[in-house]
């Protein structure tokens, strides 16, 4: 859809033409059937007289176009997802009547049918921009406008939008048969919403359906009462009711923390959070009505990591109400202004205003590790990335934009001072409220507040790609004191930028009284250029361990001095501070990925750490990296033995873990991914857990864990499709259907893999979540003979997927179907051939392929290093 891929040049040209206030009246009718809905947009706008422009619209059909009282032929003026406008006046009125399509891919207006009760749920998702899938619109962030929404829906439904309801009216008309799935036709209701403040189109939202609802109020810092609501599907209401008061409380703590920190009260009329099914992202910051994936409604036991992630997500989206919504980037190159800031602030708020006090350790393990991985790919980009078109934007919702950006903001706070930083944020929000801004606008306010020149800082940190490495070297005197502590900074050859860092250096020693490694001293300094001497360390007693980047203030790879590295490799499990453990463990993981630390030693280090680790995200990520190391980085001749060693280690730890603990739950779940065909002990353990003949004290086999056991048995050929279908009949829900797709796709037969491949790629009846489940089930255990056909098949199918699926679905398929557990060298060979033959392919498509191929290239390199250690 070429017209759907708006370029920056086109956006700038259109912005120069659309000059005056813009207002929309959007009328949607959601009663006409399960496939499509009527949409009528009336747009009033100013323009340069005599100029031409266009509005964006992705629709099945346009029935009428009227510009300034003149009817235009849709066959002539609606082409390539655009309505062309010519000979504009200084003030214009445009009316477009269209038939738009519901999606099942999480883009535009998504329609989901809950199989447990037949209820239909609708929700919108408009970022990057997909408002044009629902109504005609100038769909770019810097043409802000006011919006009036009217929605006709079945009488029993609830409809929500960005603003409070202005009025409702019951109508005599009947809904079309089938609109409500299994329910009969019924009368309708028209919902009219109050006019929005000036805002960007991608932040508008409509949700509709028989959602369960809860309400409360918040006494806003400006004296207003802000109404608050939470919504979810009826089938989830009993589970959600257990958490709704907690989530209201978390949200209110966020309101107070942000208003206090920035000096700007919450600016909008209401604040709704609606938990919706089959959601592609974690959540979306629609003004006044945040949509959140309803996998965050917990009906089964979840890890503490996921419970904390829900809190961070709630606070992330709330932060956007100020940063991204009240003040919005002019173009998507400043997407980081939204996401990095919200990620940084939500972590800060979680750590300082909630019970999750170790949230910065969570950030280091879960988010910063993501950034380090992506920043070492050829596809890395500056935080403030050049964005030529919308496809460039879509692939930039990544670890650089979110996690590296947030890490760099943490460094900036250390660099300019916390009080000065937030004083600048206050000025920025007040000066640009209800408008658009750029990176330079932000830096102007931060410079004024801090007195620091941030142009060099911005050039180094925001406008250049890549990550530095800081290595420590220690020279000792004969009496055990430090003669010199030198920090050496290097940069990769393709991004040769040395940066200025504000950094802590921690001195850690084993404390015999507590049995813990604790910090006994700390210095802080500026690190700049290639070599920095830590003069304040000279003459101090050499500690057991020296930690550069103590408190994780900056963003860098770390290399320890030799004595510190050896001490940490043996004693990491005894470190008492969660953040210090996370920083040290991440450095060892990075060394392992770079082929500088033996894979099997890293595995043993991690297993030992897991015996005492209680920070849930660090625990979760350690388990994930254990799997990656055993599968990809260990000497191939040793992988089968190492797999058994890890599985046995996890099972032993699970049996020793505290009853009912998060660690016990994570260990059992991780163990389930280590089964192989013919592994009798594994099959015996899983079957016994499932039938109850084996019980780990405190471990409940609830719905989700039972499905994890089902998938584990299916993956080793111990459960066929009929047995999986029987499990689904026990409780047919949206979530369980997804679990069933994943289990069928995991079966280790050529027939199951062929079915999963074809279903994921060609079966357009699958929802986005079902597609993802099938694709991940397909690739999760695709090894050996099963993997052989799919290396070539993958690269033969890349172009078809890109050309025939929406971006989000193409991204999921190209990542989730990649046969990463196959022959890495063959994947590299075929991938390089594809890339050489597709030099002119869209940058976004090449980025997806390069990311996968580079992971295989690293596997080849690191496995070869470990093979030399025999």
Element holding 431 (H helix, E strand): helix 418-432
The pair phi, psi for residue 215, each rounded to 5°, is -135, 150
**Looking at 127, 150, 317, 735, which residue is catalytic?**
317
**Token code pair at residue 405:** 């950006």
CB 443 within 8 A of CB 384: no
What per-residue string of b and e applies to 456-495 under the rule 16 or more CB within 10 Å gives b? ebbebbbebbbbbebbbebeeeeeeebeebebebebbeee
CB 502 within 8 A of CB 548: no
- The whole-angstrom separation of Cα 250 and Cα 218 is 12
- The whole-angstrom separation of Cα 222 and Cα 267 is 9
CB 191 within 8 A of CB 171: no
DSSP state of 633: I
Q: Name which of 578, 570, 560 is nearest 507 in CA terms.
A: 560
Question: For this structure, is 317 an active site residue?
Answer: yes
Sign of CA dihedral 398, 401, 402, 404: positive
Q: Name which of 119, 590, 611, 163 is nearest 368 in CA terms.
A: 590
Total Cβ atoms within 10 A of residue 839: 7
- The whole-angstrom separation of Cα 564 and Cα 559 is 10
CB 222 within 8 A of CB 188: no
Q: What angle do the packed helices 304-320 and 616-628 form, to 10 degrees?
A: 110
- The whole-angstrom separation of Cα 150 and Cα 135 is 12
Q: Name which of 226, 225, 264 is nearest 432 in CA terms.
A: 264
DSSP state of 140: S
- The whole-angstrom separation of Cα 62 and Cα 38 is 10
Total Cβ atoms within 10 A of residue 453: 10
- The whole-angstrom separation of Cα 317 and Cα 320 is 5
> Concatenated DSSP letters for 220-289?
-TTSPEEEEEEEE-GGGHHHHHTTHHHHHHHHHHHHHHHHHHHS----SSEEEEEEESS-SSSEE--TTE
> Concatenated DSSP letters for 346-386?
HHHHHHHHSS-TTHHHHIIIIIIHHHHHHHTSTT---SS--
Q: What angle do the packed helices 843-867 and 824-837 form, to 10 degrees?
A: 150
The pair phi, psi for residue 89, each rounded to 5°, is -105, 175
Residue 617: exposure state from Cβ atoms within 10 A (0-12, 13-18, ≥19)? buried
> Concatenated DSSP letters for 281-311?
SSEE--TTEEEEEGGGS-SS---HHHHHHHH
- The whole-angstrom separation of Cα 621 and Cα 404 is 17
- The whole-angstrom separation of Cα 392 and Cα 352 is 35
Sign of CA dihedral 431, 436, 441, 446: positive
List all residues 6 or more positions away from 755 whose beta carbon is below 8 Å from its beta carbon.
744, 745
Q: What angle do the packed helices 721-730 and 703-715 form, to 10 degrees?
A: 180
Enzyme catalytic residues: 317
């Amino acid at each position: 859809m070429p017209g759907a891929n708006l370029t920056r040049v086109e956006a700038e040209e259109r912005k120069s033409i659309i000059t005056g206030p813009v207002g929309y009246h959007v009328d949607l009718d959601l009663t006409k059937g399960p496939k499509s809905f009527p949409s009528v947009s009336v747009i009033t706008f100013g323009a340069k007289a005599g100029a031409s422009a266009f509005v964006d619209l992705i629709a099945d059909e346009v029935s009428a176009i009227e510009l300034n009282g003149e009817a235009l032929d849709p066959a002539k003026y609606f082409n390539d997802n655009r309505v062309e406008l010519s000979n504009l006046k200084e003030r214009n009125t445009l009316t477009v009547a269209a038939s738009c399509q519901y999606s099942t891919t999480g883009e535009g207006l998504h329609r989901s049918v809950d199989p447990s009760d037949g209820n239909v749920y609708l929700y919108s998702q408009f970022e990057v921009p997909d408002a044009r899938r629902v109504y005609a619109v100038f769909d770019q962030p810097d043409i802000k406008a006011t919006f009036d929404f009217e929605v006709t829906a079945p009488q029993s439904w609830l409809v929500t939008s960005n603003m409070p309801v202005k009025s409702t009216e019951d109508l005599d008309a009947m809904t079309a048969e089938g609109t409500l799935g299994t329910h009969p036709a019924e009368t309708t209701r028209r919902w009219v919403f109050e006019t929005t403040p000036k805002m960007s189109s991608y932040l508008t939202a409509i949700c509709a359906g028989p959602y369960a609802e809860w309400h409360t109020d918040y006494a806003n810092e400006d004296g207003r009462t802000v109404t608050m609501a939470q919504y979810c599907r009826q089938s989830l209401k009993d589970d959600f009711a257990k958490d709704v008061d907690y989530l209201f409380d978390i949200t209110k703590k966020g309101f107070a923390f942000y208003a206090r920190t920035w000096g700007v009260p919450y600016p909008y009329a209401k604040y709704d959070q609606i938990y919706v099914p089959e959601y592609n992202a974690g959540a979306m910051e629609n003004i006044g009505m945040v949509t959140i994936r309803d996998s965050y409604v917990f009906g089964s036991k979840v890890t503490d990591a996921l419970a904390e992630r829900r809190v961070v997500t709630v606070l992330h989206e709330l932060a956007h109400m100020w940063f991204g919504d009240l003040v919005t980037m002019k173009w998507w190159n400043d997407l980081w202004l939204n996401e990095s800031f919200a990620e940084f602030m939500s972590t800060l708020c979680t750590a300082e205003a909630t019970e999750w006090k170790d949230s910065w350790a969570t950030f280091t393990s879960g988010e910063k590790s993501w950034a380090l991985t992506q920043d070492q790919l050829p596809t890395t980009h500056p935080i403030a990335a050049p964005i030529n078109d919308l496809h460039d934007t879509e692939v930039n919702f990544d670890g650089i934009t979110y996690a590296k950006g947030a890490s760099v903001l943490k460094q900036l706070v250390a660099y300019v001072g916390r009080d000065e930083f937030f004083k600048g944020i206050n000025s920025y929000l007040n000066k640009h409220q209800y408008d658009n801004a750029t990176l330079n606008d932000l830096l102007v306010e931060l410079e004024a507040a801090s007195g620091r020149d941030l142009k060099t800082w911005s050039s180094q940190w925001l406008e250049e790609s890549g990550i530095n490495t800081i290595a420590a070297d220690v020279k000792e005197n004969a009496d055990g004191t430090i003669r010199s502590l030198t920090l050496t900074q290097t940069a990769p050859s393709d991004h040769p930028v040395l940066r200025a860092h504000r950094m802590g250096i921690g001195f850690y020693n084993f404390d015999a009284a507590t049995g813990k490694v604790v910090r006994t001293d700390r210095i802080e300094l500026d690190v700049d250029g290639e070599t920095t001497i830590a003069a304040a360390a000279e003459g101090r007693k050499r500690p057991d361990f020296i930690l550069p980047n103590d408190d994780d203030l900056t963003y860098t790879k770390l290399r320890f001095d030799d004595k510190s590295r050896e001490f940490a490799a043996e004693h990491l499990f005894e470190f008492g501070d969660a953040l210090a453990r996370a920083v040290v463990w991440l450095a060892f993981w990075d060394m392992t990925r770079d082929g500088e630390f033996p894979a099997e030693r890293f595995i043993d280090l991690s297993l030992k750490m897991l015996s005492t680790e209680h920070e849930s995200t660090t625990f979760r990520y350690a388990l994930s990296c254990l799997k990656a190391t055993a599968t990809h980085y260990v000497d191939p001749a040793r992988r089968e033995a190492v797999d058994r060693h890890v599985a046995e280690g996890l099972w032993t730890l699970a049996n020793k873990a505290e009853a009912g603990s998060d660690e016990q739950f994570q260990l059992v779940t991780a163990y389930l991914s280590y089964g192989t065909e013919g592994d009798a002990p594994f099959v015996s353990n899983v079957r016994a857990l499932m039938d109850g003949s084996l019980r780990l004290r405190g471990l409940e086999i609830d719905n989700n864990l039972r499905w994890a056991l089902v998938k584990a048995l299916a993956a080793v050929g111990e459960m066929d499709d009929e047995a999986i279908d029987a499990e689904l009949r026990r409780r047919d829900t949206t979530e369980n259907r997804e679990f069933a797709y994943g289990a069928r796709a995991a079966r280790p037969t050529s027939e199951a893999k062929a079915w999963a491949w074809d279903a994921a790629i060609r079966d357009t009846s699958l929802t986005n979540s079902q597609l993802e489940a099938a694709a991940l089930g397909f690739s999760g255990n695709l090894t050996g003979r099963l993997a052989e056909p799919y290396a070539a098949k993958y690269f033969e199918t890349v172009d078809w997927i890109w050309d025939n699926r929406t971006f989000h679905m193409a991204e999921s398929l190209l990542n989730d179907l990649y046969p990463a557990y196959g022959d890495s060298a063959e994947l590299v060979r075929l991938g390089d051939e594809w890339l050489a033959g597709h030099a002119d392919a869209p940058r976004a498509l090449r980025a997806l392929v390069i990311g996968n191929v580079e992971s295989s290239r690293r596997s080849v390199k690191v496995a070869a290093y470990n093979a030399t250690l025999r």
